[in-house]
Chains A and B, each alone.
Chain A
Amino acid sequence: MISQFFVLSQRGDNIVFRDYRGDVQKGSAEIFFRKVKFWKEDGKEEAPPVFNLDGVNYFHVKVVGLLFVATTRINLSPSLALELLQRIARVIKDYLGLLSEESLRKNFVLVYELLDEVIDFGYVQTTSTEVLKSYVFNEPIVVDAARMPPLGPAALFMQGNKRMPGTAVTKSVVAHEPGGRKREEIFVDIIEKISVTFSSSGYVLTSEIDGTIQMKSYLTGNPEIRLALNDDYTLEEVGYQVMVPPDGEFPVMNYRITQEFKPPFSINALIEEAGSLKAEVILKIRAEFPSSITANTILVEMPLPTCTTRVNFDMEHGIAGQTADFKESQRRLEWNLKKIVGGSEHTLRAKLNFSQEFHGNITKEAGPVSMTFTIPMYNPSRLQVKYLQIAKKTKSSNPYRWVRYVTQANSYVARI
């Protein structure tokens, strides 16, 4: 069982603190924060999620910049503790709509009430928003979503794509809307995180999709749902699913695909010495998806040789929201693009200046090139929701049904 649960802000402030057993000292939050912050002298290395300090075991996960922490003195299951911390974050988000320092502070009474039902004497009782609703009585105080940084996979939809009611998913599952009526709606999100490693010659070395089908229901009366997926799909045990979605966000299915798929971007990177103390980098990325689709918030990064002192960029003209930068302290090149339309190709040229001459192979000191991006309405697995049926009609004759797809780079790397 766990002894304490607490939430710390990025600065180490105690936002929530609940002691369940009284066998760990009260100052544990501060001890923990100091340890995590200075894990290695240089402050660079991240503390592992589980560690023991003077007989107290600390577990922590990071959620939207907040540290969710549990402590214990016994030989507890660490996966239980870590999974619990994630679930508590999810439950709180279900209740508050948004998870942030501000929303936690505004709702502290509700949060304590939740924590008392989720954990008793250190033992997990339930983490289901659905079940908790019968025992929790405080009403959430909704924080203005527009001012808050978005959270989690659902937040992906808030960028760009106008068709999606992005902010809707940041509303509380339990709160009553102004006017007393809840809007009947259900969201089905297909979120695919992809990892691709290209060899220096451009071949795909490893590729993987970590997918999840996630549902968030705001339907009253918990009606039965039928969800059918396209049947030409090769996933095992996927056909259609019948379920009664509980209130709140929940994953319907997680899947993992290691078969080859067409990577959304091809990356072409070149680094060449250009006389003594100079080199040139050419980065070319090509969007290999249809032109009806647009990727956004693209970031391309490439570590440069340690003796790099200055970089001059040569960017294509006429592309809005494009920036390139040399982060000197990290010896890294960063290239930001606001959006990339399918089928298009973009190039960045950079001239590097070195402080000393090269002995070895320049390609060994630079790279690999890594990329992060988000592509709404696109998923490389081609898994699709064929239909989403709400079996028993609810009060409102036709609830809103939203099906959304998004692809996000997990580890997208090209070696050079």
Chain B
Amino acid sequence: MSGHDSKYFSTTKKGEIPELKEELNSQYKDKRKDAVKKVIAAMTVGKDVSSLFTDVVNCMQTENLELKKLVYLYLINYAKSQPDLAILAVNTFVKDSQDPNPLIRALAVRTMGCIRVDKITEYLCDPLQRCLKDDDPYVRKTAAICVAKLYDINAELVEDRGFLDALKDLISDNNPMVVANAVAALAEIQETSSRPIFEITSSTLTKLLTALNECTEWGQVFILDALSKYKATDAREAENIVERVTPRLQHANCAVVLSAVKMILLQMELITSTDVVRNLCKKMAPPLVTLLSAEPEIQYVALRNINLIVQKRPTILAHEIKVFFCKYNDPIYVKMEKLEIMIKLASDRNIDQVLLEFKEYATEVDVDFVRKAVRAIGRCAIKLERAAERCISVLLELIKIKVNYVVQEAIIVIKDIFRRYPNTYESIIATLCESLDTLDEPEAKASMIWIIGEYAERIDNADELLESFLESFPEEPPQVQLQLLTATVKLFLKKPTEGPQQMIQVVLNNATVETDNPDLRDRAYIYWRLLSTDPEAAKDVVLAEKPVISDDSNQLEPSLLDELLANIATLSSVYHKPPDAFVTRVKTVSRTEEEDYPDASEGGYSESPAHTANIGASSPATTSNAQSAAARQPAAAPAPVPDLLDLMGMDNNSAIVPTDRPASPAGPPLPVLLPAPTGQGLQISAQLIRRDGQIFYSMLFENNSQIPLDGFMIQFNKNTFGLAAGGPLQVPQLQPGSSASTLLPMVLFQNISPGPPSTVLQVAVKNSQQPVWYFNDKLPLNVLFSEDGRMERSTFLETWKSLPDSNEVSRDFPAIVINSVEATLDQLAAFNMFFIAKRKHSNQDVLYLSAKIPRGIPFLIELTAAIGVPGLKCALKTPNPEFAPLFFEAVETLLKS
């Protein structure tokens, strides 16, 4: 062939399509080939050449592979839009799949699988059947992938035609390429199916470990990833697996290395011999270090993974800190990750070296990097008590350079150091005060003010310093205002002289009357009342000893860390998020026997709780906001919670409710907790609900008294989960005969009551006209079930196995009837109880679900029932079985209705 492909991009005057048509029908082979190339060129730049379909397909019957491939490329592109014409190609496909040339056979079956047209799919089955048993491994490996393609189009067909079994047979194929593709295809099919299709037994394990040695590097990754789902039965088997996998650590392909590391880490959990574990740790260090010599992109992935690994097993890289020193020309994303790991590996032994590095980084050009380096010094000070003094002297040196952002960052970390080591390093305060004028960032300002307030008695001119800040009080951001308020109170309590007294009046006035920030106002009122009623108590409260803080450099929660470690060498380990948090694979086809998970997409989270809380002010504008928030909720999750819009409908506001509302059933009215006769005409109905990942107290106030009511406030007594109001109660003045509803955002872990878990929630509501009303509500456990409660099948199994039987509690509900599994699962999914698996046990269905309550406590649930027959058995396994009674109560309420 001569000339350039790019010449195919040029066009002639005559009109491109007719000319191409003519050339495609030329009697000369070369001319036809050139014409097809021109067509493809036009296609890749986005021109519509679909009108040439018939002419191109006519060129398909050729022995010339180059031409044939071009035609196939065209077909894949246009078959979807021209399904009827695509049928024309079927005959040639079927013929090609029996061609003596294996390349043509493979090409035919590969291409047919890419054409997602139903009619073609039917014709694909016979050729696929043959090709799966072809003599040539190239054809077999192509056919293996083709099964996955077909499954994606029509899962039923794959199962009916027995392709799954054929695929499983290929695991024992003598060609490692074929084995690798079969494993990849089966793993994909398993991902999308709820039934066990590809379960690795000890005999498949042996086969795959053998194939591992002969596979291409990519095949090794497929196999290692599939094997990582295998759970060894005991320590001996785990050791065996590790022994077979360890040689992969030497591989030049970093994907193989990381997948091998993952596999070894997983098996190490089971290995009991400390010698073996120590030895493995030693073996893993060099390959991990080698990854840092790869391209920066790979280094980034390696560093994110190493970050997790050193949190779990710090010894692996304890002696390798030098390889994490930043190079001058590292991209910023690599430098940031290296810093993070340096902090994690910093120890009394290497801290001097590390500090020398940090100090150097703190004078580089990139501002973000410099800030992080300064903060790193502070974190080391907090982490390593014996090195704290050295860290501080480095920080002081940096402050003296007087680079603005360095100074501010240093002050922020020094505040933390003071908290960590109270009464130790205050001698440096004078130096800090020199930089006072240059502070312009809220966090730095707030930190400095905190320091002044905390050590007011040792700073001679503390009052002057604070006063200088007070001038700009109204303009300061809330963070700074809060600190100013507290610092002034501290100053006053420590030096109750005239100056501070005047200051405190200014501040309290500013913070109560002049502000509309509820946090600031509440805090100011509390101080005010404390100071005016009992100054000694004020001292006890405001100047109380603070709990010691600790280093936050191991910030991942153990349960999350374990989940991420099980996902080493996947995106999850780079994002440091569990897979559920970001995997949103679109399922293009609906499958039989498949549960549609309510899509736990994160879209709904964008609505800030504060925003939602405003709904109470029932102006049409906010209502339409609420409307759109409701519309964003997944349709699969009908919310039986009372719909605020309906409540307002009762107020004859139904005109603002559009008719195309999502079809959520009108929920039951809120339970009345304070009946009007008890409340001197005030009736309060309320219920805890969960919306968009946030707990709200949905409340309705009805004023049946003769007087207007206003100044509503609410308080919650100590309770099991420390639920408390997350903001002020926003209820407008209620005229006699009117009502108002509100969504009060709630926060957890504020005032936790000791003792066994209980659902009792005691509430107090007051207003300016009436006495305080107390009433009891119930805390349904299901409002605590979080959106991230879905467990991987394998994790579920592992967790179930790892928990002792004593953690399993069960209860029978003789009155509950399950009429439809699907409806029940939908109903439970709406409350964040996630379906894991289902099996049949004689005439009963057994459902497995997972849920999670805050602080990461998982609930593993087994429901057993016969469809349509009263009686449900519910078993619960959890590390915290004390919550079981609450759980059963919630299940009963949810399923009874």
Contacts and interface: CB of A to CB of B under 8 A. Distances in A.
B284 to A, nearest CB: 15
Given A106-B4, A121-B148, A411-B329, A83 B254 contact: yes
A55 interface: yes
A125 B218 contact: yes
Given A105-B6, A368-B328, A73 B583 contact: yes
A22 B585 CA distance: 11
A76 B570 contact: yes
B698 interface: no
Interface residues of B, number: 85
Contact of A120 (B44, B110, B402, B570): B110
Interface stretch (A137-145, A267-275, A287-295, A392-400): A137-145
Contacts of A125: 141, 177, 181, 218
Nearest to B40: A109
Contact of B290 (A22, A74, A256): A256
A50 B571 contact: yes
B838 interface: no
A138 B70 CA distance: 10
Contacts of B296: 49
B5 A109 contact: yes
B297 A49 contact: yes
A75 B570 contact: yes
B27 to A, nearest CB: 22
Contacts of A86: 295
B5 A108 contact: yes
A82 B298 contact: yes
Contact of A370 (B141, B328, B579): B328
Contacts of B3: 141
Contact of A55 (B70, B116, B582): B582
A362 B874 CA distance: 73
B248 interface: no
B712 to A, nearest CB: 41
A190 to B, nearest CB: 16
B368 A73 contact: no
B844 interface: no
B748 interface: no
B6 A50 contact: no
A126 B180 CA distance: 12
A78 interface: yes
B255 A360 contact: no
Interface in B239-261: 252-255, 257-259
Interface stretch (B52-60, B330-338, B419-427): B330-338
Contact of B70 (A57, A109, A128, A415): A109
Interface in A47-63: 47-50, 52, 55, 57, 59-61
A308 to B, nearest CB: 13
A120 B112 CA distance: 12
Contacts of B110: 116, 120
Contacts, number: 193
A361 B401 contact: yes
A48 B331 CA distance: 9
B605 interface: no
B252 A251 contact: yes
Contact of B221 (A77, A361, A370, A415): A77
Interface string A71-96: 00111111110111010000000000
Interface in A383-416: 410-413, 415
A112 interface: yes
B218 A126 contact: yes
User: Which of B177, B293, B586 has its CB near the most chain A CB atoms (within 10 A)?
Assistant: B293
Nearest to B602: A55
A226 interface: no
B588 A23 contact: yes
B218 A80 contact: yes
Interface string B303-324: 0000000000000000000100
A77 B570 contact: yes
Interface residues of A, number: 73
A1 B188 contact: yes
B330 A411 contact: yes
Contact of A137 (B37, B65, B222, B253): B65
Contacts of B400: 360-361
A232 B141 CA distance: 47
B221 A80 contact: yes
B73 interface: yes
Interface in B31-70: 37, 40-41, 44, 65-66, 69-70
A180 to B, nearest CB: 14
Nearest to B578: A75
A59 B222 CA distance: 19
A45 B145 contact: no
Contact of B218 (A74, A124, A361): A124
Given A61-B295, A365-B401, A123 B570 contact: no
A364 interface: yes
Nearest to A138: B66
Interface in B560-599: 567, 569-572, 574-575, 579, 582-586, 588
Contacts of B647: none
Contacts of A105: 5-6
A73 B584 contact: yes
Contacts of A4: none
A17 B329 contact: no
A139 B66 CA distance: 10
A82 B113 CA distance: 26
Contacts of A120: 110, 142, 145
Given A80-B218, A83-B254, A107-B5, A365 B363 contact: yes
Contact of B44 (A108, A368, A415): A108
16 contacts: A22-B116, A46-B331, A74-B583, A76-B570, A76-B571, A78-B570, A79-B302, A80-B218, A82-B254, A84-B218, A113-B69, A123-B181, A123-B184, A123-B222, A124-B218, A137-B65
Interface of A: 1, 17, 22-23, 45-50, 52, 55, 57, 59-61, 73-80, 82-84, 86, 105-110, 112-113, 116, 120-121, 123-128, 135, 137-139, 141, 195, 197, 206, 210, 251, 254, 256, 258, 303, 330, 359-361, 364-365, 367-368, 370, 410-413, 415
Given A23-B586, A49-B333, A57-B571, 4 more contacts: A1-B188, A123-B222, A197-B325, A411-B327
